[in-house]
Structure 1
Amino acid sequence: MLFISIFIIGTTAAKAQSTQFSSWIASFNTFSIKNTKLSVHLDVQARSTDEWREFQTFLVRPGLNYHFRKNMVATVGYGWVGSRRTLQDLTAYLSEHRIWEQFIVNHHLDFIPIQHRFRVEQRFIGNPVVNNNELEKDGHELTHRFRYFLRGVIPFSGEKSFTKGPFGALQNEVFLNFANTDVVNGKAFDQNRAYLAVGYRFSRQFDLEMGYLYNYISGINNAYTKIHVLQLAGYVRL
């Protein structure tokens, strides 16, 4: 899936492309609720603009997990996204609200744990307008998006029961718009994120990793953006 996506991206004909450099920091957290099949999901992220000039995006995404089995988890949640938007040379942070549902399946490929994540988002995107020479939000428009995420964690020890030590991570996520796509880019394909990282597992409860993420975004008409991202991520499981 990762290599197919990269091949498709590399062979897409685009007339207007831009390249950016950014940094992302993220915290992915799961908090168990004792004596139940439930847990709380929370991820918090901050992303910079091109060449690290300013903050571009803040994201807070809580959710409630239900563990059908040890390797199968369903989640419903809410997401708040504050993004830096520009219109007529005016810039402001405008909010997007999301309702999202996902299903995760985990399994092993030899000693490598693999995760498949299927997510659907209902996105309420702020409509930017200029009022008194200021950029403001005039209501929200609804669109929908499907995301498929594939991730593998490779313990350098080669042990299947991996609880501590260094590891490598390889992942890919493809984003597809559906229903009312004119609110975004007018296309089914939205973006793709390919990621390679190295990290350290301090315990069963905490991982820290740093890596390179290649974000390929499809804009309106033939506009495309390529973002080279340095990402620092922490994973907490309590």
Structure 2
Amino acid sequence: MDLKIFRQLILVLCTTFSVFCSAQKNDLGAWYMYFGSNKISKKFNFHNEIQYRNFNGIGNLEQLLIRTGIGYDVTENNNNILLGYGFILSQPYINGEKSENTEHRIFQQFITKQSFGRFNLQHRYRLEERFLQDDFRMRFRYFLGFNIPITNKQMLPKTLYLSAYNEIFLNLDSPVFDRNRVYGALGFIINKNLRIEAGYMNQIQENKNRGQIQIGFYNNIPFTGN
């Protein structure tokens, strides 16, 4: 599948998602996401991330999330430890009225990657210190994700692939369980540093299920020639 065909596929998906989201009266949300992990030296990387989350297809902001951080590879291109900061603007509905609150977040994480045949696994362990407007909380997150190439045996440029993950969120106080996310998507590797995914994520929180259409763009262009 070439890039032109994949662009057409994404356009069809976006159009379908927008119509479906409108019909569902906010039962289905949409997240538009950018993730950057850019080498600044042989061992260090710069993490940059923006997520625009909507209650519906587009135009009704639920949350704006901006994250950044500096990571260090313990081994070559693997076993990355990272210290980061996040700013989160939320606009939830309370008793039918839209409100607004902000959160500042410091986080530490460790990512390790493994490969088994076509399976490319990623484990992420993250600890968050959350400075809310009227509260302070700490939370642990475990993420298990994998990518499987479809049109090639490896994750090479111009490859179509399947992506999936499960992530659980645990508070360090009561209640311990915060939420769980399950995700599945179709992705395309544009070149060795760029790829795109379109998929669906279901989130369980406070015994409620909510679906999210997700479109993500991933940028690994290095800031150094090393």
What TM-score bracket applies, with the shorter chain setting the length? Answer: 0.7 to 0.9
2:194 is matched with which residue?
Answer: 206
- Secondary structure of 2:126's counterpart equals strand
The TM-score, its normalising length taken from structure 1, stands at 0.77
Alpha-carbon distance between aligned partners in 1 of 2:57 and 2:175, rounded to the nearest angstrom: 28
For 2:64, the equivalent position in structure 1 comes to 58
RMSD: 1.8
The partner residue of 1:105 within 77, 100, 112 is 112
**Aligned pair in 2 of structure 1 residues 156, 51: CA closer, same or farther (>3 Å)?**
closer
Fraction of identical pairs, as percent:
29
Greater strand content: 1
| Alpha carbons 1:29, 1:237 under 8 Å: kept | yes
Unaligned runs of 5+ in 2: 1-25, 222-226
Unaligned residue ranges in structure 1 (runs of 5+) = 1-18, 128-140, 180-185, 219-223
Contact 1:96 1:124 in 2 (8 A): yes
Determine whether 1:230 maps to 2:210. Answer: no
Establish whether residue 157 from structure 1 lines up as the match of residue 163 from structure 2.
Answer: no
Deviation (angstroms), 1:54: 1.0
Shift of 1:87: 4.6
Instruction: Name the TM-score, length of structure 2 as normaliser.
Output: 0.81
Q: Is the 8 A contact 1:156 1:168 kept in 2?
A: yes
Residue identity matched to 1:106:
K
1:162-198 superposed Cα distances (whole Å, 9 cap, x missing partner): 333111101110000013xxxxxx4111100000000
Q: 159-168 or 146-155: which moved more?
A: 159-168
Paired with 1:21 and 1:81, the residues of 2 have a C-alpha distance of: 21
SS at match of 2:110: strand
* SS at 2:154 equivalent: coil
C-alpha separation between the residues in 2 aligned to 1:197 and 1:209? 6
- Give the one of 155, 172, 175 matched to 1:187: 175
Rate the CA distance shift 1:28–1:51 in 2: closer, same or farther, 3 A: closer
